[in-house]
Amino acid sequence: MTEATTSKAPTPSVRAMLVPLALAQFICSFAGSNMNVMINDISIDLHTTVQGVQVCITLFLLVMAALMIPCGKLTDRLGRKRCFTAGLMIYGIGAVLSALAPGLGVLILGNSIFEGVGTALLIPPVYILTTMLFTDLKSRAWAFGVISALGGIGAAMGPLIGGVITTTITWRAAFIFQALVIVVIVFLARRLVDPVPPDPTRPFDVVGAVLSAAGLVILVGGILAADQSVAWMAGLLVLGALLLAGFVLWIRRREREGREALLSTSLFRNRTSNLALVTQNVQWAILLGTSFTVAAYLQVVRHYDAIQTGVIFTAATVGVLLSSLAARPLARHFRQRTLIATGFVVTLVGIVVLLVLVKGHPGPWYFAPGLFLIGTGLGLMLTPSVNVVQSSFPESLQGEISGLSRSVSNLGSSLGTAVAGTILVAGLADPKRSYGIAMIALGVFGLVGLGAAMLLPRADPVPVSEVSTNS
């Protein structure tokens, strides 16, 4: 790995460009968790079930994961700002459709499809532009810290804001809120500058895009089918795995033939990046999995309304906020590997506390200590994980690694919601037991993340030049 060239600190105008990018990450993360407190209200209003709402939430996260890699690649061909703006527009249409939905089908179309596609288009440019605009290690770490913090805060505040809006107005108003935020972001993004012009002649791997997207969708679909039929689950899991294996073989073949593939196989030869991607996947699996599991348990089993559920999640929001604010000062004294590993330890302790206190006490505030620790641990490691991944590759690969990074994170979100949610929903006849099993499953995810964190190199990475992409 070569040393990065020295760069000047970003100008005030460049720093201002971070505002719409960070807000975009906030609202997309908010959308991934705010529906968790609307489960009862949506189920009653749209005459559906808890499982129906879970499918809608998981599909939103899954569409993002499935399309993030192709959309990250499209930014090179169409332009980063153009993809960012198009994504905002599509997302806004989806939010309005969701607000007006007469049934579950239209809600899935608006929330899961339109908002999912919009997010997949706009999120890769957030990370690519940040990498290009903030070229020195210190300012880039700060910029990623702001974006990751707002992402974590958005996911943690989703239940609280969604609960307040749902209880005081209606669940539909939460989607209007999202649409209004999108309007603000579009206005702020007018002065956003794309440092590198798009290349319309750059080839796009359509077959690779279809194989990767189909494989991810079918794989998670198999998890969602677990409570319906073991045969269906096994069949979908095998088919999804085969499609993803076919995707890997396809991109290898294209590279051997000298053609550009959807993803460069060099991305998977970087050990440091691979380990950091595992930690990203697990972080978001725990965050969104915990959010859905606890929210569903509170509403369906303990019959709390949306605002009561949202208020309980304030503990997680405070934890994420405090640790995210402390992440930059801590980075001056501790290595990123240490912060990520410590974050997982704190998160695992939070899961244990959440299990022990809730099992022994019926009161709602016994959820607070565990949620606070989970939020604190996740907030502590969100920024260093992103920085390790993005700094492992040169500018020419930022489109691909940003798409892969966001796809891995959103796949974690969908897996966490699918696995923990399916365990909980399938076992509502014995809710205390199924709640415990769901949280234990998320704890196992956490142990995997901790193991990956411990294998990261002790030295912090520096931004890679165009000379080398392997560590």
Say how far apart CA 185 and CA 84 lie, in whole Å.
10
pLDDT tens, the chain, 471 aa long: 333 444 566 777 788 889 999 999 999 889 878 888 888 899 999 999 888 888 898 888 888 878 888 888 888 888 999 999 999 999 999 999 999 999 999 999 999 999 999 999 998 899 888 878 887 767 777 787 788 778 878 887 888 888 899 989 999 999 999 999 999 999 999 888 888 888 888 888 999 999 988 998 888 888 777 666 777 888 888 999 999 999 999 999 999 998 888 888 888 888 888 999 999 999 989 988 898 888 888 888 888 888 888 888 888 888 988 887 787 788 778 888 999 999 999 999 999 999 888 876 677 778 889 999 999 999 888 888 888 887 787 766 766 777 678 778 878 888 888 888 788 776 655 767 888 888 999 999 999 999 999 999 887 666 555 434 333
Pick the last residue of a domain from 244, 261, 278.
261
- 6 lies in some domain: no
Say how far apart CA 200 and CA 184 lie, in whole Å.
29
- 465 lies in some domain: no
164 with 274, same domain: the answer is: yes
Give me the domain span that covers residue 224.
206-261
What CA dihedral angle connects 277, 279, 284 and 289, to 10 degrees?
A: 130
Say how far apart CA 80 and CA 125 lie, in whole Å.
5
- 76 lies in some domain: yes
275 with 219, same domain: the answer is: no
Look up tokens 């411990």; give the residue: 454
- 197 lies in some domain: no
Residue 425 one-letter amino acid? V
442 with 413, same domain: the answer is: yes
Say how far apart CA 251 and CA 253 lie, in whole Å.
5
Residue 432 one-letter amino acid? K
- 461 lies in some domain: no
Angle between helices 171-188 and 137-168 (to 10 degrees): 150
151 with 139, same domain: the answer is: yes
Check residue 227 and give its pLDDT: 63
- 5 lies in some domain: no
74 with 220, same domain: the answer is: no
268 with 255, same domain: the answer is: no
100 with 248, same domain: the answer is: no
282 with 371, same domain: the answer is: yes
Residue 420 one-letter amino acid? A
Cβ-contact 155, 410 below 8 angstroms: no
> 6 is written with which tokens?
């020295």
Q: What's the pTM?
A: 0.79
Residue 459 one-letter amino acid? A
Check residue 2 and give its pLDDT: 37
445 with 299, same domain: the answer is: yes
What CA dihedral angle connects 48, 52, 54 and 55, to 10 degrees?
A: -150
Maximum distance among all Cα pairs of the chain, rounded to whole angstroms: 63
Annotate 394-412 with b (16+ C-beta within 10 A) or e (fewer). Answer: bbebbbbbbbbbbbbbbbb
254 with 268, same domain: the answer is: no
- 467 lies in some domain: no
121 with 182, same domain: the answer is: yes
- 3 lies in some domain: no
223 with 281, same domain: the answer is: no
For the chain, helix, strand, coil in percent to 5 are: 80, 0, 20
Q: Report the domain count for the chain.
A: 2
Check residue 466 and give its pLDDT: 45
